[in-house]
Structure 1
Amino acid sequence: MRISDVIRRKGAEVVTIKPDDTVRQLLDLLAQHRIGALVVSPDGSAVAGIVSERDVVRHLQRAGADVLDSPVAQIMTAEVTTCGPDDGVEHLMRLMTDQRVRHIPVVIDGVLHGIVSIGDVVKHRIDELQSERDQLVGYINQ
């Protein structure tokens, strides 16, 4: 299976935040959308970075509550691991494991087209296993 299959099932909506928005605004968006990370983008299509709940926690521990009024650019990860829609789900699972990341933006020709989380990958894999199970049960019961 490919990343495009995962995106087709979950949808391609990506919540982004601008680099100069504050960490406080970031927290509002994370809570509002019930998600764990946002792509940092100046225009909604270019990927400038990614910022997660983990980033906020680490910086709160180091700098205290003052970090809440800092720009997202100060806490984001600028070197973003991305994937394409034709990449395999197995490749993405290995990438997430090796790089210890939970969210990977899907990019085509430098333009943001989606985001895949570890939860999306797990759900996709569970659905695959359920389908295989159903097929085997159907075959056995014939």
Structure 2
Amino acid sequence: MKTVAELLKLKDLDHQHVHTIAPQQMVLDALKLMAEVNIGALPVLENGQVVGVVSERDYARKVVLKGRSSIGTPVSAIMSSPVITVSPQHSIEACMGIMTERHLRHLPVVDDGKLLGLLSIGDLVKEAIAEQSDLIQQLEQYIRGE
């Protein structure tokens, strides 16, 4: 199974750039950015370090359901923290296990304290399906004696 580093290299150019937000920015800013670039979560960076992740789920549960305002609420008030991260050396399988166990949909990739990327559950499922498809093709070729 591939590593996180290999998966990040395979992401198309539009999804290799990681959009981030600062903890003091307003929730409305995060929502606008997520809508603009069609993503569901943003790593929260402070002094170059990942201090949280803010997602659509955080917005729904911690702003809408609690009657808060997205204009006057800072990202730090609703972000998920502490952050669970992975390194580029982690396997896709290990990431899937972390996401399943912790009920996460997004996983920041950090190396030496630097944010390298953000994996979504969709990224991991897509890779798992591709690997299974390759294995099926290899087995079919083996059965046919090719």
Query: TM-score normalized by structure 1?
Result: 0.91
Q: Specify the code of the residue in structure 2 equivalent to 1:104.
A: L
Partner-residue secondary structure (3-state), 2:115: strand
Q: In structure 1, what is the Cα distance between the partners aligned to 2:111 and 2:142?
A: 40
- Residue 135 of structure 1 deviates from its aligned partner by 1.5
Gaps of 5+ in 1: none
Indicate the structure with greater helix content. Answer: 1
Report whether the alignment pairs 1:92 with 2:105. no
Q: Specify the code of the residue in structure 2 equivalent to 1:25.
A: D
Q: 1:110 aligns with which of 108, 113, 120?
A: 113
Structure 1 stretches of 4+ with a deviation exceeding 4 A read: none
Q: In structure 2, what is the Cα distance between the partners aligned to 1:75 and 1:2?
A: 31
Higher relative contact order (CA 8 A, sep 6+): 1
Could you say which residue in structure 2 is the equivalent of 1:4? Answer: 5
- Residue 26 of structure 1 deviates from its aligned partner by 0.6
Report whether the alignment pairs 1:67 with 2:53. no
Partner-residue secondary structure (3-state), 1:82: coil
- How many residues get paired? 140
- Residue 124 of structure 1 deviates from its aligned partner by 0.5
- Residue 71 of structure 1 deviates from its aligned partner by 1.0
Taking the TM superposition and a 5 Å limit, the aligned residue runs for 1:129-140 are 129-140=132-143
